[in-house]
Amino acid sequence: MTQTIDSGNTRTDSHGKVHETVHNADHEIEKATLVAQTSEGGQELRPRSELSAKELMREVGAVLRISESEAAALGAVDNVVPGTTGDAEDQTMIINMGPQHPSTHGVLRLMLELQGETVLRCKPIIGYLHTGMEKTGEELTFMQGGTNVTRMDYVSPLNNELVFSMATEKLLGIDQDIPERAVWMRMLLSEMNRMSSHLLFMATNGMDLGAVSMMLYGWREREEVLRFFQKVTGLRMNHNFIRPGGLAADLPAGWRDDVLRLLEMIPPRLEEYDILMTGQPIWRDRLQGVGVITAQEALALGATGPILRSTGTPWDLRRDMPYLRYEDVEFDVIVGTYGDCFDRFAIRLNEIRESMRIVRQILDKMPSGDYRIQNKKVTPPPRARIDESMEALIHHFKIFTEGFKVPEGEVYVAIESPRGEIGCYIASDGSAKPYRMHVRGPSFVNLQCLPHMMRNCLVADAVAIISSVDPVLGEVDR
């Protein structure tokens, strides 16, 4: 430890190592060596006796500003068992849930402080799937970037590609010149992706709560949508189909029939879901009043998407800050009332219906024309031209090896993904690779709601709450 500590507190982690945090009230930090800054302390949930009031306040899920005495009262352990001391360490137990747990949707690890079956504190610990995708994004050209971002939120890959492409196009200044057909195709794919993502939520949410047949039904319907994606893009997932300038290819012959078949098949299946779950008393008992969050708290925590809408806040970027041609289609923004797990389930179920409503309008309005911008700077020449023109071959080669240069600048573009606001911040230095590519993953931010939603719930409800946040760890960890 080579740092000067002015007002830091000392903590000991489970390995007996001493860590020091620097509060640097007067910014007095030594010339920062890398080593000094890496021992900032453990990420795990620690016993109450080692916590500052502020940290405790966050772990018990106090969102809005409260006084320290209120925080202490929140953090106090009630219901002391007779015959024991009132020490928190005697009353409670800190346990791990995950990262290997079927209900944690991947590699989410939660540390829970339990008193009996009741969760007193919770801390999500993430990073187990971190593969440095933002660093990788700086090494790939704008042309190649789609393959990288599509793997972040692997349940709704087309939305990732869309936001990355829109940010790149904005930097290039061609965002108003994208052909109409490309824009409507993007909308079609984005909405179909919302359907497949929410269908997967139906499956996992059912599975987490013991409705195992629901799991099979959800996966089954999602697979039908993925089959459509496979026909259009060639892949079930990680499509890299939406690219800067448009799309990789036009819709295949017979796409309209495939979409119509889906639109016919899915509504009766959703009716089945309603019978199986929505009206069923056990299902309602498991979800209603569980994991409640208010609008003010959700906004303060940065929550977006179904979590924010479940609190009754009608905020949907498709309607409120329209992109693509969402102002030309009619749809309803589904909001909840109580901000509980049931509202979030019902919102997603009904958003599938709204997405189908949008898809129906897209079928009617899909214009003909080009599926990508005819701008030689960003669009490779057609395949047929390569056989007959040397220049086309060179152009094709250059654009795929060197990429295209993007003017200097920085933009932040956000769209509504199935999980909330997915944003892409790109800073360009004028070269063919993004200087900095940052993706604001909705799951990453939404996970911060967990400690708040879980306070004083049961362990079984914790499973329901994780499920209702619907995190995708590929996007959380990036």
Instruction: Give the C-alpha distances (Å, rounded to integers) separating 441 from 414, 425, 449.
Output: 10, 11, 14
Residue count, binding to other proteins (CB under 8 A): 88
The string over 309-329, giving b where at least 16 C-beta atoms fall within 10 Å of a residue's C-beta and e elsewhere, is bbbebebbbbeeeebbbbeeb
Q: How many CB atoms lie within 10 A of CB 5?
A: 14
Applying the rule CB under 8 A, the residues between 125 and 184 that interact with other proteins are 126-127, 130, 132, 134-136, 139, 170-178, 183
Q: Which is nearer to other proteins, 60 or 259 (CB)?
A: 60
One residue of 99, 312, 381, 409 binding other proteins per CB under 8 A: 409
CB of 54 to other proteins, least distance (A): 4
DSSP 238-301: ----EETTEESSPPPTTHHHHHHHHHHHHHHHHHHHIIIIIT-HHHHHHHTTSS---HHHHHHT
Q: Does 294 bind other proteins (CB under 8 A)?
A: no
On whether the CB atoms of residues 263 and 359 are closer than 8 A, the answer is yes
CA angle 468, 278, 289 (to 5 degrees): 50
DSSP summary character for residue 385: H
Task: Tell me which stretch binds other proteins (CB under 8 A): 194-202, 233-241, 356-364, 402-410.
Answer: 402-410
Applying the rule CB under 8 A, the residues between 441 and 470 that interact with other proteins are 444-445, 447-448
Q: Does 122 bind other proteins (CB under 8 A)?
A: no
Task: Tell me which stretch binds other proteins (CB under 8 A): 28-36, 91-99, 270-278, 388-396.
Answer: 28-36
Cα–Cα distance between 471 and 281 in angstroms, integer?
26
CB of 233 to other proteins, least distance (A): 22
Cα–Cα distance between 114 and 93 in angstroms, integer?
5
One residue of 9, 12, 21, 103 binding other proteins per CB under 8 A: 21
Element (H, E) at 91: helix 88-91
CA 417 to chain centre: 8
One residue of 76, 248, 263, 411 binding other proteins per CB under 8 A: 411
Q: Does 429 bind other proteins (CB under 8 A)?
A: yes
Instruction: Give the C-alpha distances (Å, rounded to integers) separating 34 from 18, 37, 38, 39, 93.
Output: 18, 5, 6, 9, 35
DSSP 312-327: T----HHHHS--TTGG
Cα–Cα distance between 415 and 302 in angstroms, integer?
15
CB of 295 to other proteins, least distance (A): 10
HSE, side-chain direction, 13 A CA sphere, residue 412: 7
Q: Does 41 bind other proteins (CB under 8 A)?
A: yes
One residue of 5, 9, 12, 55 binding other proteins per CB under 8 A: 55
Q: How many CB atoms lie within 10 A of CB 225?
A: 21
Please report, in angstroms and rounded to a whole number, the separation of the first and last CA atoms in the chain. Answer: 30
Q: Which is nearer to other proteins, 57 or 225 (CB)?
A: 57
Q: Does 38 bind other proteins (CB under 8 A)?
A: yes
Applying the rule CB under 8 A, the residues between 366 and 385 that interact with other proteins are 375, 377
Cα–Cα distance between 130 and 139 in angstroms, integer?
17
Q: Which of 203, 225, 182, 205 minimizes the C-alpha distance to 372?
A: 182
Cα–Cα distance between 322 and 326 in angstroms, integer?
6
SS3 helix, strand, coil % of the chain, rounded to 5?
50, 10, 40
CB of 277 to other proteins, least distance (A): 31
CB of 55 to other proteins, least distance (A): 5
Q: Which is nearer to other proteins, 222 or 372 (CB)?
A: 372
Q: Does 398 bind other proteins (CB under 8 A)?
A: no
Q: Does 421 bind other proteins (CB under 8 A)?
A: yes
Q: Which is nearer to other proteins, 220 or 377 (CB)?
A: 377
CB of 396 to other proteins, least distance (A): 18
One residue of 27, 275, 368, 384 binding other proteins per CB under 8 A: 27
Q: Which is nearer to other proteins, 207 or 329 (CB)?
A: 329
Task: Tell me which stretch binds other proteins (CB under 8 A): 48-56, 191-199, 224-232, 330-338.
Answer: 48-56
Q: Which of 127, 163, 458 minimizes the C-alpha distance to 291?
A: 458
CB of 380 to other proteins, least distance (A): 15
Q: Does 324 bind other proteins (CB under 8 A)?
A: yes
Q: Does 16 bind other proteins (CB under 8 A)?
A: no
Site pattern 76..115 for other proteins (x: CB under 8 A): ----------------------------------------
CB of 241 to other proteins, least distance (A): 19
Q: Which is nearer to other proteins, 357 or 405 (CB)?
A: 405
Q: Which is nearer to other proteins, 86 or 407 (CB)?
A: 407
CB of 112 to other proteins, least distance (A): 17
Q: Does 315 bind other proteins (CB under 8 A)?
A: yes
